[in-house]
Chains A and B, each alone.
Chain A
Amino acid sequence: MALYSEVVMDHFMHPRNVGVIENADGVGTVGNAKCGDIMKIYLKIENDTIVDVKFETFGCGSAIASSSMATEMIKGKPIEDALKLTNAAVAEALDGLPAHKMHCSVLAEEAIKSALKDYYDKNGIEYDHSIFPDCENCDHCHE
C-alpha cells in the first residue's frame, strides 16, 4: 500500500500549471514556511472567467498535488464556480489524501479564494466578506 493514490502521485510527479503569471489579475498566498507549506496562486481573469492559472508551492507531495489538481479544476471556469471549490472536492478528485494530509487540500481551497479576493480588492468589486476565510490568521499548522 503506497502512501499516496496514483492520482496524487501523477499530479506530484507531473504537476500541471506550475509557474508564475506576470501582471496577474489576482494573487493569493497561504501557509508559511515555518509550518512547511506555502501555496501561491496566480490568476488571469477575463469577463469573470479564469482564463489562466499558475501555482508555486513549497511543501510535501500532497501539497504539490493539491495545488496541481485545484488549478486544473478552476482553469477556464467562471469565478462563481471557482468560489465554490471545496477542499473535499479537491481531495476527492485526487482519489483521497491520508488523514494527516487533508490540510493540504484546505490550503489549495484557501489559496484560490485568497487570489480571488485579491482580484476583487484590486478592481474595487463589492463582495460578501463572509465567503472568504480569514487566511491572515489561518492556524492550520497549529491544530
Chain B
Amino acid sequence: MQVYADNAATTKISKHALQAMLPCFETYYGNPSSLHTVGQEAKEVLDQARETVAKCLGCEAREIYFTSGGSEADNQAIRSAAFYGAKKGKKHIISTAFEHHAVLHTLNVLEKEGFEVTLLDVKEGHNITAQQVKDAIREDTCLVTCMYANNEIGSVLPIAQIGAICKEAGVPFHTDAVQAAGHIAIDVKAQNIDMLSLSGHKFHGPKGVGALYVRRGIPLRNLIDGGAQERGKRAGTENLPAIVGMAAALEDACNNLEENTKKVTDLRDKLIAGLEKIPHCALNGDRVNRLPNNVSFCFEGIEGESLLLYLDAQGISASSGSACTSGSLDPSHVLLAIGRVHDVAHGSLRLSLSHDNTEEEIDYILQAVPQVVELLRNMSPVWRDLQNGEREYIL
C-alpha cells in the first residue's frame, strides 16, 4: 500500500486546479500587461483569480499580491514593515521561537542590520498566548509576526486575539498562514490581520506560487524591482497558470472546508490515539488548538531518519525533525523550542494528512509504525540502557 502522509511538505495538485491551469498555457498565454486582446484576456483571467483568492480570505482583490511562494511573501512583509518602522525610529519586532525559517532567517538578517527581535517562548502548551504578545509590545515595536499554525507540530495560534491586541496597540500584524490557508477558515478583517502569507502547493495547488495579503493603508515596499505588475509592488510577468491553479485550489478548499475538516480531523484523532499506545512517546504540539491534518510525535530511544526509511520501504511517506533528515547536526528548532531535549527530538515523526487519505491508510500506518519503532528500539543501545535502568526515561 502507498500512503502519502507528508501533506505539510507539499500536496498533490487537485484535478480541478490542474484543469484550471491548462487553458493558461494554450489559450490565455498572453502577457497581462499587453494592450492587445490576447493580453487583455489573460489579464481578465488574472483579475478573476485575484478576486477568488480575496473572497477566500475576506478581503478586497486589490489587497492581494501574487508572489513566487510563501517564503517570498514572508520576506516581503517582514522587510517592508521593518523598513517603514525604522523610518519612524521603531526597530523592535516580535515573533515566536517556532516560526518557519522563512521568517526566522529574515529576522536574523534584520538583527544584523540593527533591529531587536523578541521571540516568544512556546514551551507552555506548545503554543503562545495573546497575553505574551501584549506583554512584549513596546513603544518601538514596528511589527508582530506570528505564524497562523506551526508546520511541524500543528499548533494553531490565537490569531484573532493577537490581531485585536495589535490593532489596539497600533502595531502592524503579519501572519505566516502557509499551513493554515485552505485548512482553517480565515477572515483577515474579522481577525484584524494586516498582512498574511500563503503558498499554493500546501492546499493542492501548484508549486512556485503564493500570495501576500496587505491591508489597504499598510505601506508595502518592493522586494523585487522592475515592471509595474502587482500594482507596482512585485515586478515580473505574472505566472498566470500557477496563479490560476492556486486560486482554483483555494476556492475548492474554502468551499469544502467544513466537510474536509471533519473527515481529516477524525483520521487525525484516530492516528493520534493509536500511536499514543506506543510506550515512551509524546505528542508534539497543542492538542486542542491543532491543525486538522497534523500528527507529530517523539519516540524515545530511536532516531527519526531510520524510522522514515523503514516506513518508506513500506510505502509510507512521512517526515521527521531529526538532525539527519535536515542535513545539519541539530534536530528541528521547533522541537527544541517546545522543550524537547536533543535525545528525544532526534526521534520525531510527523504525519500530515489530507482529505485524500482513507481510514484503511490510517489502519495501515497504525500497523507499521509500532513495528518499526520496536525494531529500531531492539537494535538501540539507548533503548537497552533505558530498559536496564542505566538511563532515565525522558518521555
| Contacts from A to B (Cβ < 8 Å) | 9, 12-13, 15, 18-20, 29, 33-40, 56-61, 63-64, 100-101, 141-143
Query: Taking A29-B381, A34-B342, A100-B327 as contacts, is the C-beta distance between A58 and B309 under 8 angstroms?
Result: no
Interfacial chain B residues near A101, Cβ < 8 Å: 324
Mask: chain B, 221-244; 1 = CB below 8 Å from A; 0 = not: 000000000000000000000000
The answer for the CA separation of A64 and B309 in the assembled complex, in Å, is 12
Let me know if B301 is at the binding interface, CB within 8 A. Answer: yes
Interfacial chain A residues near B343, Cβ < 8 Å: 33-34
Give B329 Cβ to nearest chain A Cβ, in Å.
6
Query: Taking A18-B379, A40-B381 as contacts, is the C-beta distance between A60 and B329 under 8 angstroms?
Result: no
Mask: chain B, 321-348; 1 = CB below 8 Å from A; 0 = not: 0111001010100000000011100100
Given contact pairs A13-B313, A56-B380, A60-B324, a sample of 13 additional A-B residue pairs in the complex whose CB atoms are under 8 Å apart: A9-B309, A13-B310, A20-B384, A33-B343, A34-B341, A35-B323, A38-B380, A40-B381, A56-B384, A58-B381, A60-B305, A101-B324, A142-B329
Q: Of B301, B327, B346, B381, which one neighbours A36 at CB under 8 angstroms?
A: B346
Which 5 pairs across A and B sit closest by C-beta, in order of nearness? Answer: A60-B324, A60-B305, A33-B343, A56-B381, A40-B381
The answer to whether B379 touches A56 (Cβ under 8 A) is yes
Closest B residue, CB atoms, query A37: B303
Give A66 Cβ to nearest chain B Cβ, in Å.
12
Interfacial chain A residues near B327, Cβ < 8 Å: 100
Closest A residue, CB atoms, query B320: A60
Closest A residue, CB atoms, query B343: A33
The answer for the CA separation of A55 and B343 in the assembled complex, in Å, is 20
Give A42 Cβ to nearest chain B Cβ, in Å.
10
Give A23 Cβ to nearest chain B Cβ, in Å.
16
Let me know if B275 is at the binding interface, CB within 8 A. Answer: no
The answer to whether A60 touches B384 (Cβ under 8 A) is no
The answer for the CA separation of A59 and B329 in the assembled complex, in Å, is 12
The answer for the CA separation of A40 and B303 in the assembled complex, in Å, is 15
The answer for the CA separation of A141 and B329 in the assembled complex, in Å, is 7
Interface of A is mostly: mixed
Interface of B is mostly: helix
Interfacial chain A residues near B357, Cβ < 8 Å: none
Query: Taking A33-B342, A36-B342 as contacts, is the C-beta distance between A58 and B380 under 8 angstroms?
Result: yes
Please indicate which of the listed interface residues B301, B313, B379, B384 has the most CB atoms of chain A within 10 Å of its own CB: B379
Interfacial chain B residues near A20, Cβ < 8 Å: 384
The answer for the CA separation of A58 and B299 in the assembled complex, in Å, is 12
Q: Of B310, B331, B341, B382, which one neighbours A38 at CB under 8 angstroms?
A: B382
The answer for the CA separation of A141 and B330 in the assembled complex, in Å, is 9
Let me know if B4 is at the binding interface, CB within 8 A. Answer: no
The answer for the CA separation of A60 and B378 in the assembled complex, in Å, is 15
The answer to whether B303 touches A36 (Cβ under 8 A) is yes
The answer to whether A58 touches B301 (Cβ under 8 A) is yes
Let me know if B40 is at the binding interface, CB within 8 A. Answer: no
Closest A residue, CB atoms, query B391: A33
Give B383 Cβ to nearest chain A Cβ, in Å.
7
28 A-B pairs, CB-CB below 8 angstroms? A12-B306, A12-B309, A13-B310, A15-B379, A18-B378, A18-B379, A20-B384, A29-B381, A33-B343, A34-B341, A34-B342, A35-B323, A36-B322, A36-B323, A36-B331, A36-B342, A36-B346, A38-B382, A56-B380, A57-B381, A58-B302, A59-B303, A59-B324, A60-B324, A61-B305, A61-B306, A64-B306, A101-B324
Mask: chain B, 160-172; 1 = CB below 8 Å from A; 0 = not: 0000000000000
Query: Taking A36-B346, A64-B306 as contacts, is the C-beta distance between A58 and B382 under 8 angstroms?
Result: yes
The answer for the CA separation of A79 and B270 in the assembled complex, in Å, is 53
Closest B residue, CB atoms, query A142: B329
The answer for the CA separation of A15 and B303 in the assembled complex, in Å, is 16
Give B19 Cβ to nearest chain A Cβ, in Å.
32
